[in-house]
Structure 1
Amino acid sequence: MATNFVQPGQVLTLTAPAGGVTSGSGHLIGAMFVVALHSAAVGESFEGQLTGVWSLPKTSAQAWTEGVAIYWDGSKATTADASGSNALIGHAAAAAANPSATGLVRLSA
């Protein structure tokens, strides 16, 4: 067996960015998107989940189809809009209506 294996990597211990993190909220840490598993103040350690299907806030005025690429818009919401500095975070795990406040997103680690 390889001796350099460290961990599976679905959850990482990271440092909370400016503003801290709230349990269940999404965050870009560098270019890596995670969902915080607990709340932490800025500079504190927290565990961030990189995988799985999460109910996340979305741009309400969009309808999603299953499998559509989903991006983080930098303002704490998901979107199907790839423009600007939006970061790809995964794909829609289910259709979402227009309007709707949340959508199911399968994270792409």
Structure 2
Amino acid sequence: MKTKISHADVLDITAPSGGTTSGLAVLIGSLFGIAVTTNVAGDTVAVHTSGVFDHVKEGAGSGQAWAVGDAVYWDNTAKRLTKTTTSNTKVGYATAAALTTDTVGRFRIVPFA
């Protein structure tokens, strides 16, 4: 096939304002992923757009537990995953249960159109 560019598991994008940190989430418009490297704004950075990752979640004091299969959203203001839908971007599903006191959750990135 001559039109396919890549599998899109990892995309090279321009690092947004504030740059990127290796292993942490990046959201540009509706494009969500986990940065492979730490880069300053304007640099080209590789970003995982699929896969299963551990990342900071809404935790202690929030009363928010996760069950396997729960939809998770990215809170771009607090820079953490949450089950709160309001003003947040849906990014995937929990792949492991998490307690209300857990500050890290395991999730699968699922690109949404």
TM-score, scaled to structure 2: 0.92
**Residue range with higher mean Cα deviation, 86-95 or 3-12:** 3-12
* Residue 22 (structure 2) aligns with: 23
CA displacement 1:43-93 (0-9 Å, x = unmatched):
10100000011001000021001100000011210001111x200000000
Q: Does 1:42 align with 2:41?
A: yes
Which of 80, 85, 88 aligns to 2:83? It is 80
Tell me, what secondary structure is at the counterpart of 1:7? coil
Runs of 4+, deviation exceeding 6 Å? none
**RMSD (CA atoms):** 0.7
Instruction: Report the counterpart of residue 67 of structure 1 in structure 2.
Output: 69
**Residue segments in structure 1 that go unaligned for 5+ positions in a row:** none
Name the SS of the counterpart of 2:97 in structure 1: coil
Q: CA deviation at 1:3?
A: 1.2
> So what's the TM-score if we normalise by structure 1?
0.95
Percent sequence identity is: 36
- How many residues get paired? 107
1:3 matched to which residue of 2?
A: 2
Equivalent-residue separation in structure 2 for 1:42 and 1:102 (angstroms): 26
Whole-angstrom CA distance in 2 between matches of 1:5 and 1:15: 21
Q: Distance in 2 between matches of 1:46 and 1:29?
A: 12
What is aligned with 1:94? 96
